[in-house]
Amino acid sequence: MAEHFISCKNVCFNYEGRSDAALKNVSLNIDKGELVAVLGHNGSGKSTLAKHLNGILTAQSGDVEVAGYNTKDENNIFNLRSRVGMVFQNPDNQLVATIVEEDVAFALENLGVEPKEIRKRVDEALEAVGMSEFKLSQPHKLSGGQKQRVAIAGVLAMSPDCIVLDEPTAMLDPKGRAQVMDTIIKLNRERGITVVLITHFMEEAALCDRIVVMNDGEVFLDGEPKEVFKHAQKLKDVGLAVPDVTSLCNSLQKLGVEIETSINKDEFIENIQKLLIG
Partner 1 sequence: MLSDITIGQMFPGNSLIHKLDARYKIVFTIIFMVMLFCANSLIGMAITLLFVIFIYLLAKIPLTMLLKSLKPIIPIVIFMTVFNVFFYSGETVIFKWGIIKLTLEGLKMTGVMMFRVISVISGTAMLTYTTSSIELTDAIESLMSPLKKVKFPVHDLSMMMTIALRFIPTLIEETDKIMSAQKSRGADFESGNIIKRAKALMPILIPLFLSAVTRAGELATAMESRCYRGGEGRTKMKQPKSDKRDYISLVFMIVLTALVISLNYIKF
Q: Please state the length of the chain.
A: 278
Among the listed residues 35, 39, 155, 181, the single contact to partner 1 using CB under 8 A? 155
Q: Which amino acid is at 88?
A: F
- The sign one gets for the Cα dihedral 2, 186, 199, 225 is negative
Q: How far apart are CA 204 and CA 55, in angstroms?
A: 26
Q: Is the CB of 131 or the CB of 206 nearer to partner 1?
A: 131
82 touching partner 1, by CB under 8 A: yes
How far is Cα 8 from Cα 213, in angstroms, rounded to an integer? 15
Indicate whether 105 belongs to the interface with partner 1 (CB under 8 A). yes
Cβ distance to partner 1 smaller for residue 23 or 155? 155
Candidate residues 12, 97, 170, 272; the one interacting with partner 1 per rule CB under 8 A: 97
179, containing H or E segment: helix 174-191
CB of 6 to partner 1, least distance (A): 16
Of positions 96, 241, 257, 275, contacts partner 1 by CB under 8 A: 96
Q: Which is nearer to partner 1, 13 or 88 (CB)?
A: 88
Q: Which residues of 88-120 are buried (b: 16+ CB within 10 A; e: fewer)?
A: bbbbeebbebeebbbbbbbbbeeeebeeeebee
Residues forming contacts to partner 1 in the complex (CB under 8 A) are: 51, 54, 56, 78, 81-82, 85-86, 88, 90, 92-99, 101-102, 105-115, 118-119, 122, 138-140, 154-155, 158
